[in-house]
């Protein structure tokens, strides 16, 4: 089976930003193929979700890695995309202007959130992880999680090693 990973970036980010580049390197070192969806210029959650589903349709079932709004999208598309797993960083749930928290596929899920997140309160990540029975890592970091990137790479590596 092809080991496919799909990245979904946050609202103000880009498909190959610092975090995704580092995490893709970690995944590729383990033999995973990486795709990063480019949501730039798409202003609606619905439009971004359509783009994710279109990209995923042309790829084998994948592990989805999402940051902030990208985490929301990874979960929102997880059932339609038959996600093999979800690795979410500061997933943007329960925020004004966003749809309700989507139903999540029953798959291995890890959530990483920062204690000092000023965009998505850490309590949201904790609630989501609890509701899913997900692995939860809380770090002394902010929303972008850049200071914790080396540790997140280790957690992603361990997560991906759990898949054939």
Domains in the chain: boundaries = 4-160
pLDDT tens, position by position, 83-92: 999 999 999 9
* Inter-residue contact 110 to 88 (CB < 8 Å): yes
Look at residue 162 in the predicted model and tell me its pLDDT: 97
CA-to-CA dists, residue 14 to 21, 30, 127, 160, 164, angstroms:
11, 24, 27, 23, 29
> pLDDT-derived band of residue 125, with 50, 70 and 90 as boundaries?
very high
Mean pLDDT calculated for residue range 10-23: 96
The yes-or-no verdict on residue 46 having pLDDT over 90 is yes
> pLDDT-derived band of residue 104, with 50, 70 and 90 as boundaries?
very high
Look up tokens 């992880």; give the residue.
129
4-160 is classed CATH 3.40.50.1820:
yes
Q: Give the pTM.
A: 0.98
pLDDT tens, position by position, 65-76: 999 999 999 999
């Amino acid at each position: 089976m092809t080991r496919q990973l799909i990245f979904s970036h946050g609202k103000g980010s880009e498909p190959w930003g610092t975090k995704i580049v580092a995490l893709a390197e970690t995944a590729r070192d383990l033999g995973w193929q990486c795709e990063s969806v480019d949501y730039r210029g798409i202003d609606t959650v619905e439009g971004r979700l359509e783009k994710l589903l279109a990209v995923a349709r042309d790829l084998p079932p994948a592990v989805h890695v999402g940051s902030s709004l990208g985490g929301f999208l990874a979960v929102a598309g997880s059932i339609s995309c038959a996600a093999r797993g979800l690795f979410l960083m500061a997933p943007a749930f329960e925020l004004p202007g966003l749809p309700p928290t989507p139903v999540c596929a029953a798959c291995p899920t890890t959530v990483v959130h920062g204690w000092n997140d000023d965009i998505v309160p850490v309590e949201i990540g904790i609630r989501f992880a609890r509701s899913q029975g997900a692995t939860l890592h809380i770090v002394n970091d902010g929303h972008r999680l850049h200071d914790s990137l080396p540790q997140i790479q280790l957690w992603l590596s361990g997560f991906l090693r759990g898949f054939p």
